Amino acid sequence: MATGSVDSAHREARPRAVNTDHPLPDPVAEPVPAPERLRFSGSGTEYFRIWIVNLALVIVTLGIYSAWAKVRRLQYFYRNTQLASSGFDYHGKPTAILKGRIIAFVLVGGANLAFNYSPVIGFLVFIPLGAVLPWLLVRSFKFRMQNTSWRGLRFGFRGTVAGSYKAFLLWPLLSVLTLGVLIPATYREFKAYQHGNSTFGHAPFSFAGTAKEFYKIFGKTFLFFLLGPVLVIALFLAAVGVAGTRGSFRLDPLVAVALGLAIFAFYASVIASGPYLASQLQNHVWNSTRLERHRFESQVRFRTLLWIVVSNFVLTVLTVGLYRPFAVVRAARYRIESMTFIPSEPLDRFVGQRAREVDAVGEELGEFLDIDIAL
């Protein structure tokens, strides 16, 4: 009986012959995960309740509650931003934000007082303020990222202080010295430092945006911005010319209409340049960002964003500011839901592997990093 059992086991252990007519599926090949569009589940009504309570408490406490208000606001927006049916979360402590705001208030307030007393003394005070700002910013980035999580796994930021001084001090100074010519390159360096040094667990983000693309975006925005003023000047000169040929500087009705349209075009170009720049920057920055092999895709449309910005402004003015929280939610929903995450492997496997790496190495959070100077 025993011999028969062993023979039977050996027969079962033999590899089965491959049926060439019906080959087995390749174990390496697996279906490509579907793209995951980000969703925002918040509503203007919900955020209005948070906003109005925050506003009242900030007024009553003379601004001290603003740190707690910021935490409530960020938690609401993070928790309602969902990727693959899982919301993000924010874990920042209000006391750390309050500490950062006190530092910012002392530094900026001191510089302002010094400038009012004497421009020379103000300039001398501004120099150390400018020197310490990049160091504060890198700590603030680390605080923000390490207090952000998705599916329980924290983000991180590994940017160095030297890199911060290069991105936030050297490049802005070069932009000033070149009269703004290097602004697009400076913005590119800022985003490369911010996105290229971020992590999800220990998985690194990377940034491949080029200065050439940023120059195209800023250049088109500048031309867009100039369109209105150029039209105003051209029509104004035309009106003066028409009045001159008639020997009178009385304004012709047709010229008055033309000038009215030109002034409208001026304000329209100025107002529209902001949403145009914002839409193009978001698309290029996120389309150039990777999380290991995973990609992002942003498809913010200029005309849609312009309509949201203009209508939000009009409704906020008509309601004496009460529409403000609805406007914020509306703009956030559009910009968030224009984003798609394109995974290269199943998300459950990716997150599980990164979570095990973090458990093995340990969290890097420390009280030393507890500061946030962002308003």
Res 226: pLDDT: 83
Res 360: pLDDT: 55
Distance of CA 339 to the CA centre of its chain: 12
- Asked if 72 and 50 count as a contact pair (C-beta separation under 8 A), the reply is yes
CA pair distance 322, 229, nearest whole angstrom:
33
Res 352: pLDDT: 87
| Beta strand residue intervals within 148-259, DSSP E | 148-150, 153-157, 198-200, 203-207
Res 334: pLDDT: 97
Three-state SS at 205: strand
Sequence letter at residue 268: A
Res 122: pLDDT: 72
Angle 44-60/66-79 helices, nearest 10 degrees?
170
| Continuous segment of H or E residues that includes residue 146 | helix 119-146
- Asked if 309 and 334 count as a contact pair (C-beta separation under 8 A), the reply is no
- With b for 16 or more beta-carbon neighbours within 10 A and e for fewer, the 282-313 pattern comes to bbbbbebbbbbebbbebebebeebbebbeebe
CA pair distance 288, 297, nearest whole angstrom:
9
Res 208: pLDDT: 96
Res 28: pLDDT: 56
> In this structure, what DSSP letter does residue 32 have?
P
Task: Kindly give the confidence (pLDDT) of every residue in the chain, 375 residues in length, as a single tens digit, with 9 standing for 90 and above.
Answer: 344 444 444 444 444 444 444 455 555 566 778 999 999 999 999 999 999 999 999 999 998 999 999 999 999 999 999 999 999 999 998 988 888 888 878 877 777 777 777 777 777 777 777 778 888 888 888 999 999 999 999 999 999 999 999 999 899 999 999 999 999 999 999 999 999 999 999 999 999 999 999 999 999 999 888 877 777 777 777 766 766 666 655 556 666 776 777 777 778 888 889 999 999 999 999 999 999 999 999 999 999 999 999 999 999 999 999 999 999 999 999 999 999 999 999 988 999 888 887 765 444 444 444 555 554
What is the DSSP track for 244-303?
HHTT--PPPHHHHHHHHHHHHHHHHHHHHHHHHHHHHHHHHHHHTEEETTEEEEE---HH
Res 27: pLDDT: 52
Res 322: pLDDT: 95
Joined together, the tokens standing for residue 185 give: 């390159």
Residue (of 65, 131, 73) closest to 98 by Cα position: 65
Res 298: pLDDT: 97
Res 13: pLDDT: 42
Three-state SS at 153: strand
- The β-bridge partners of 341 are 36, 296
Res 59: pLDDT: 95
Res 254: pLDDT: 65
Distance of CA 298 to the CA centre of its chain: 12
CA pair distance 366, 154, nearest whole angstrom:
14
Sequence letter at residue 345: E
Res 262: pLDDT: 73
Res 244: pLDDT: 66
- Asked if 90 and 145 count as a contact pair (C-beta separation under 8 A), the reply is no
CA pair distance 331, 282, nearest whole angstrom:
13
Res 14: pLDDT: 44
Residue (of 160, 170, 109) closest to 137 by Cα position: 160
Residues 6+ apart with CB under 8 A from 231: 262, 265, 266
CA pair distance 318, 326, nearest whole angstrom:
13
